[in-house]
Structure 1
Amino acid sequence: MTLRVLALAGGLALAGVGPALAADMILHGGPIYTGDAKVEALAVKGGKVAFAGSLAEARKAAPGAQDVDLKGATALPGLVDAHAHLMGIGFRELTLNLEGSASIVELQARLKAWNAAHPGTEPLSGRGWIETHWPEKRFPTRADLDAVVPDRPVVLTRADGHALVANSKMLALAGVTRDTATPTGGQILKDAAGEPTGMLVDNAKALVSAKVPPPTEAQMREAARLAVNLYAARGWTGMHNVSVAAKDVAILRDMAAAGTLPIRVDNFMDLKEAGEVLAKGPYADPTGLVRVDGVKLYMDGALGSRGAALLAPYSDADGAGLILTPPDVISGALDKARAVHAQIAIHAIGDRGNRMVLDAYEKAFNDNPAGLAAARWRIEHAQVLSPEDKPRFAKLGVIASMQPSHAIGDLFFAPARLGEARLKEAYAWRDLWDSGAHMAAGTDAPVEKGDPLIEFYAATYRHDLKGYAGADWGLDETLTRPQALAMLTKGSAYAVFRDKDLGDLAPGKAADISVFSADLMTVPFAEIPAAHAVMTIVGGRIVYDARGK
């Protein structure tokens, strides 16, 4: 079968993404890390690892297998993004991408250009701006958007997905005025005169997002295709897809059946879409590539938009954040999930939000504390933790699902939000690791880029991509390279009950392999983000191949 070459927005060419048959193969000619050892060669038979060790013995283990010379590239156990939003990644390529906007002026320029290139009267959507580096030192407003697109509804979502700005046309379409009641768990920011600025935070976003026409079936399928192929091309062999709709799962199942899904996708459903998994428990498609593991909920908001729920007020503003989901709704979901052995993953960023989740989990299993560890329930982000709550992850068996790249971006504004004392308790990877907690690493894409190399770099070096580390950067919380690799492999596998089949390259496990141009375990830190994926293998199928390119 001829492999397709897919050209994506942004000029990235993805070579060799598409359906392929599992093949017996012998990998050699570069460093091979199994997750527990470094070996000369790896033999793959029937989609599984047959042998890891010397080249001579590997050839005996798989006689007649395809010879794969790494030519100096490095093979690792398949890296799995433990927290991403698949459709958001795809739609980032299909809508106005505001990542990297350096100012309100640049945001306006991008908006104006996109509007000119996509004329019409329907609402215009975009995502990816973040104001923390801007010279204006403020959120954008509806007046900023009106200045360039006054005659068409516009809604632009912040990079973290927890806030948006709408222009006057969009606010009018949604009926948002100075008298609009603020939804529970949300904020409508207002100016000195009491008028909405256009900024809506967390649960208030729905006031305008409900007026944006939903994507068509064709657009959803294209977004899914773009996302999974992009992930294969970055070296990911799998993804934990969170806040998922039933339609998304149906599309992924169709792709798997057609042989066009290159990676494994574990899904945590949005609560309103979780009826099936809460009724019958986890389930999978016939190929095993698409699984529905449980439910994703939100306890609080994000730190950047001051929605993260803190135990004490923010250091740079009034208020202590937002609780997005009523406690009784969360407890009801926990009880249903426990009854059918479904997993729970709850977003919690602030120290108050994290404590509330830990308390809720403990209460849900108050009659059987050991059952909580067996359930492998998760906290997504776990960014700011009080000292007394850090040991509770290991004690209760709760998984900390964290995103290293948040620390090298958030720490430009986190000191102001948290103050010095609380900042020392944030992004505490080493503290949690040393406590014995189970940890998994992800990206939160499209909040972040979705690049495993950036996550590995951030976890082990904790400097920004220009090599800068501030005085309050928390460099004592860095992980060793083996620890970072474990979070992206063994940790991700454990977090979805796949540790018997995935997570390392021991004989008998699935041949999920990520191959990179640089040896992430030895090269200077600065060289890690500059590397690239050379090959991605999932279950013995080469789903991405850039050798010779």
Structure 2
Amino acid sequence: MIKPHLFSAISLLFISTQLMAQTTLVKNVKGYTFIDNSLTKFSAISFTDDTIDKIYSPEEVLPNSNDLNVIDGQGQTMLPGLIDAHGHVIGYGHSLLRVDLADTSSERDAVNRTISYNKDIPTMSWVLGRGWNQEQWSNNTYPTAKSLDEVFPNKPVWLRRVDGHAGWANTKAMALAGITAATKSPAGGEIIKDQSGQPTGVFIDNAMALITDSVTQPSPIEDKIALKRALQSLASLGLTSVHDAGIEQKDIALYKTLASEGNMIIRINGMLYLPSTNWQQQLQQGPYRTLDDMYTFNSVKIQADGALGSRGASLINDYSDHSGHKGLLLHDKKSLQHYIEFAMNAGFQVNTHAIGDNANKLILDVYQLAIKQSDSKALRHRIEHAQVLRLEDIPRFSSLNVIASMQATHATSDKNMAVSRLGEKRILGAYAWRKLLESNAIIAAGSDFPVESPNPFFGLHASITRQDHKSLPVGGWYADQKMTRAEALKSFTLDAAYAGHQEKLIGSLEPGKKADFILLNDDLFNMPENQIWRSQVSETWVAGKRVFSAKDVSAVK
């Protein structure tokens, strides 16, 4: 029998042992990281709790201690945890709960997939989905409400286009929103109408709000379920950090709740959407981060124009395939200046969506004046997408210390229509990764999920090859703009971390940084480049903890 005082002593000893730092050594790996911006190989790594102690070259003798937790990497490749600098996390979570229309082959195919979804979740008051792209359909024309009405006469349906800049509604949804032939298109948006003036069911950019304002909003519980599902899915793809490009106050509160519960399995850097409810009051409270750096809020997201696919991107001259149309600015210049200046003066990094050359020039012009006025060059303001640029605007990124936050898969997705939209001259400043890098600009890579797949290996493959998954076009689309393998990895790691002011915390595997890394069987630097997109992660580690294991998933199956 243990005496009471001995039991207390043993308990204290047990507790103190539990609180002692645990050091882990992962050996026998083909490791790649960046040291002083140069690609460096290593064979083992040690970390204590969430912080890296040392990386070991193949020539170094590894420590040998009974106190070490030793893991054999079994020759797998280790990379720094991948960072997506532009995704929509909660939206992605909800997309996992909605009908997926990506890669549909026709309007009828999209309708059939929506029917199947409704059979699986018949209790939903609205049928919601995303991912259709008429440019991938044989007729290349927008869908209509009529095809949905045939199967959904009494249930509202709202399906967003792949880029989120257009939506497709049935007649029931339009009736609930009060849309008639007399309804006028709002500023910065368009209601597509037929020859008789009747709405066809397609709404572009700001006009989408006419429908979305009528959609029943998710409850806080549904938001939390969607967010947790999204984080788990992203971790399984090798993402250890994501910049959430456009959140609201309620989302900030949700992230804080998840962090307080210890349920933030990957890091999130949130951008407050401007304008949104009480945005000024939120910014006046200043930047925020949790003590464990799992959630950070130090930036804002503003949207200047629409997307190229829906011809909503704001161009200086007419679209090459639509005479008399230059796209749409979603805010007037005075409003943009107000949002940008307010955020900069409040100490926040400003990240503005700009796709067309007119939108990019406008934002660079406004940034130039606002950065000088607020003395905020060190905040590393960003342009999200930076997709179509005048050649003379490319050097301005480096001179203004503005980061180009770009998504490589947009180029391989858009290659079939971009030249038609822009013509042979403007395309030379579009998706211009090499031109930006040669001008000393920083490119932070992302995917813009759920517009594109969140799989970072799709982005790495597109950056390196400028090809789709069928290895087309041969040699790559405007192949002179390719990145090297090292540049592509850096854009998804160290440069993405830099874009979030976190390069001293994450982005590379170095002593003092957080132990965020992934393991995979394929060697990014030696495998055939046309196979990179097929790479699959076997383990994801964040803050020294394994948050995903492919073996565990296989065991469940």
TM range (shorter): over 0.9
Task: Tell me the equivalent position of 2:547.
Answer: 543
How many angstroms does 1:107 deviate by?
0.7
Unaligned runs of 5+ in 1: 1-20
Contact 1:80 1:238 (C-alpha < 8 Å) held by counterparts:
yes
Normalised to the residue count of structure 1, the TM-score between the two structures is 0.92
Give the distance between the partners of 1:429 and 1:335, measured in 2 at CA.
Answer: 28
Bigger Cα displacement from structure 2, 122-131 vs 236-245: 122-131
How many angstroms does 1:56 deviate by?
7.7
Q: Give the 5 Å matches for 1:323-472.
A: 323-367=329-373, 371-469=375-473
Normalised to the residue count of structure 2, the TM-score between the two structures is 0.91
Task: Tell me the equivalent position of 1:526.
Answer: 530
Task: Tell me the equivalent position of 1:209.
Answer: 212
Task: Tell me the equivalent position of 1:257.
Answer: 260
Bigger Cα displacement from structure 2, 281-290 vs 150-159: 281-290
Give the distance between the partners of 2:345 and 2:424, measured in 1 at CA.
Answer: 42
Give the distance between the partners of 2:68 and 2:355, measured in 1 at CA.
Answer: 48
How many angstroms does 1:239 deviate by?
0.3
- Describe the SS at the equivalent of 2:29: strand
Give the distance between the partners of 1:527 and 1:166, measured in 2 at CA.
Answer: 38
How many angstroms does 1:288 deviate by?
2.1
Given candidates 287, 294, 313, the residue that maps to 2:292 is 287
Task: Tell me the equivalent position of 1:92.
Answer: 95
Given candidates 244, 247, 251, the residue that maps to 1:241 is 244
| CA deviation profile, 1:198-255 (whole Å, cap 9, x unmatched) | 1110000000100000001221111001100001111111000011022222222222
Unaligned runs of 5+ in 2: 1-19
- Describe the SS at the equivalent of 1:94: coil
Give the distance between the partners of 1:56 and 1:521, measured in 2 at CA.
Answer: 20
- Describe the SS at the equivalent of 2:160: strand
| CA deviation profile, 1:154-200 (whole Å, cap 9, x unmatched) | 11100100000111111111111221121111011111111111111
Bigger Cα displacement from structure 2, 351-360 vs 514-523: 514-523
- When Rg is computed on C-alpha atoms for both structures, the one with the higher figure is 2
How many angstroms does 1:301 deviate by?
0.1
Given candidates 302, 313, 320, the residue that maps to 2:318 is 313
Q: Percent identity?
A: 37
Give the distance between the partners of 1:511 and 1:321, measured in 2 at CA.
Answer: 45
Give the distance between the partners of 1:438 and 1:526, measured in 2 at CA.
Answer: 25
Kindly tell me: are residues 491 and 40 of structure 1, through their superposed partners in 2, closer, same or farther at Cα, counting changes over 3 Å?
same
Q: How many residues align?
A: 527
Kindly tell me: are residues 120 and 222 of structure 1, through their superposed partners in 2, closer, same or farther at Cα, counting changes over 3 Å?
closer
Bigger Cα displacement from structure 2, 255-264 vs 349-358: 255-264
Kindly tell me: are residues 56 and 463 of structure 1, through their superposed partners in 2, closer, same or farther at Cα, counting changes over 3 Å?
closer
Contact 2:56 2:62 (C-alpha < 8 Å) held by counterparts:
no
Given candidates 134, 142, 148, the residue that maps to 1:145 is 148
Give the distance between the partners of 1:116 and 1:546, measured in 2 at CA.
Answer: 30
Given candidates 180, 183, 188, the residue that maps to 1:185 is 188
- Describe the SS at the equivalent of 1:60: coil
Give the distance between the partners of 1:116 and 1:262, measured in 2 at CA.
Answer: 32
Amino acid at match of 1:70: G
How many angstroms does 1:55 deviate by?
6.0
| CA deviation profile, 1:251-308 (whole Å, cap 9, x unmatched) | 2222222222110000001111433442132111343211111210100000000000
Kindly tell me: are residues 367 and 120 of structure 1, through their superposed partners in 2, closer, same or farther at Cα, counting changes over 3 Å?
closer
- Describe the SS at the equivalent of 1:365: helix
Give the distance between the partners of 1:276 and 1:512, measured in 2 at CA.
Answer: 34
Kindly tell me: are residues 299 and 214 of structure 1, through their superposed partners in 2, closer, same or farther at Cα, counting changes over 3 Å?
same
Confirm whether residue 199 of structure 1 aligns to residue 202 of structure 2.
yes
| CA deviation profile, 1:326-370 (whole Å, cap 9, x unmatched) | 2222211222222221111100001111011101100112347xx
How many angstroms does 1:135 deviate by?
1.2
How many angstroms does 1:30 deviate by?
2.4
Give the distance between the partners of 1:415 and 1:465, measured in 2 at CA.
Answer: 20
Give the distance between the partners of 1:396 and 1:324, measured in 2 at CA.
Answer: 24
Kindly tell me: are residues 341 and 194 of structure 1, through their superposed partners in 2, closer, same or farther at Cα, counting changes over 3 Å?
same
Q: CA RMSD in A?
A: 1.9
Kindly tell me: are residues 471 and 151 of structure 1, through their superposed partners in 2, closer, same or farther at Cα, counting changes over 3 Å?
farther
Contact 2:243 2:269 (C-alpha < 8 Å) held by counterparts:
yes
Bigger Cα displacement from structure 2, 522-531 vs 485-494: 522-531
Amino acid at match of 1:287: D
Give the distance between the partners of 1:251 and 1:237, measured in 2 at CA.
Answer: 19
Give the distance between the partners of 1:505 and 1:261, measured in 2 at CA.
Answer: 21
Confirm whether residue 79 of structure 1 aligns to residue 85 of structure 2.
no
Given candidates 204, 210, 234, the residue that maps to 1:231 is 234
Task: Tell me the equivalent position of 1:507.
Answer: 511
